[in-house]
Structure 1
Amino acid sequence: MLVKYRLDYKKIALGLLSYIPGLRNLQHLEAEFAWYAASPNRELLLWRDSDGHFTAIVGVEHVYGVLLLRHISITPALRDSDLMFNVLDALQTYNSDKILMGTIAGQKIINAWRRHNEQRTPN
C-alpha cells in the first residue's frame, strides 16, 4: 500500500533512497528532499507491505497532466520480486486520471511495467 511521506518517515525514506546510485551521499539526499519539498507538484510515497514494513519508495512529479516517475527504490532483498510492478500498479491507481511516464532513465522501468501488464491482461 502506498503511504504519503511524512517527516517522521524521514529516516526510512533516507535509507530507501540511498540505494539509488548518486544519492548515497547524505548531502545529495538532503538536497533531493529539499527539491521535493519545494513544490506541491512533487511527492514522495512509501510502500508499506502487509507486515507494516516499508520496502520501497517512489518520487513523482505532477506535470502537464502526466505523473512523472522521478525515483523508485526497493530494498535489495525484494528487487527480484514483482514488488516494483505492484508499486507502479498502486501508483497508477492512486493517480488514475494521469498517464504514468518516466524520466529518461526511468522510462525503461515504465516500459517493463507496461509489458508486464500486457502479458497479465488476456486479449
Structure 2
Amino acid sequence: MLVRYKKALEKIAMGLLSFMPQEKDVKRLMETIQQYEQEDDWILYLWKKGEEYVGIVGILAEDAVATIQHITVIPSYRGEGIALKMLQELRELGQFKTLQANEETEPFLQKYIPILKEDEK
C-alpha cells in the first residue's frame, strides 16, 4: 500500500532512500528529503507491507506525467514484485497518465515500463 510521505516518516524514508546508489552520501540524502518536503511537484511515497515500510518511490509531477526520481525496495523484499506494485498503484491514483524514468532510474525501470504500458490497454 502506498503511503504519502510526511515528516513523521523522515527517518524511515531516509533509510529506504539510502539503498539507492546515488543517495549513499548523508548530505545528498538530506538534500533529497528536503526537496521532497519543500517542493510541491516532488512527491514521495513509501510502500507499506503489513506493519513494515519496505519500499519507496519518489516522483517529479508535471501535469499528467510522473517522472520516477527514486525507487527502491529493502533487499530482503526484492524479487517479490513490490516495485511493480508501487508503480501500478501510483498509476491507479489517477492523476498521472504517464510514468517515465529519469536518467538514474531508467536502467531499473526498463523491465517495468513495458508491463505498465501493456496494463494500460
Whether TM-score is above 0.5 comes out as: yes
TM-score when normalising by structure 2: 0.87
What residue identity is the alignment partner of 2:28?
H
Whether the 8 Å CA contact 2:100–2:113 is kept in 1: the answer is: no
Aligned counterparts of 1:75 and 1:97: Cα–Cα separation in 2: 26
Displaced runs of 4 or more, over 4 A: none
Number of matched pairs? 120
Long gaps (5+) in structure 2: none
Aligned counterparts of 1:97 and 1:17: Cα–Cα separation in 2: 23
Equivalences for 1:2-81 in 2 at 5 Å? Answer: 2-49=2-49, 51-81=50-80
Long gaps (5+) in structure 1: none
For each residue in 1:91-110, what CA deviation from the matched residue of structure 2 results, as whole angstroms up to 9, or x when unmatched?
Answer: 11114542111102323444
Per the alignment, residue 100 of structure 2 pairs with 101
For the structure 1 residues 117 and 28, does the alpha-carbon distance in structure 2 shift closer, same or farther, using more than 3 Å as the test? Answer: closer
The SS at the match of 2:15 is helix
What residue identity is the alignment partner of 2:17?
L
TM-score when normalising by structure 1: 0.85
Whether the 8 Å CA contact 2:13–2:56 is kept in 1: the answer is: yes
For the structure 1 residues 117 and 59, does the alpha-carbon distance in structure 2 shift closer, same or farther, using more than 3 Å as the test? Answer: closer
Greater Rg, structure 1 or structure 2?
A: 1
What residue identity is the alignment partner of 1:91?
L
For each residue in 1:12-57, what CA deviation from the matched residue of structure 2 results, as whole angstroms up to 9, or x when unmatched?
Answer: 10100011112122111111112222321111100011x2210001
What residue identity is the alignment partner of 1:103?
N
What residue identity is the alignment partner of 1:33?
I
What residue identity is the alignment partner of 1:56?
G
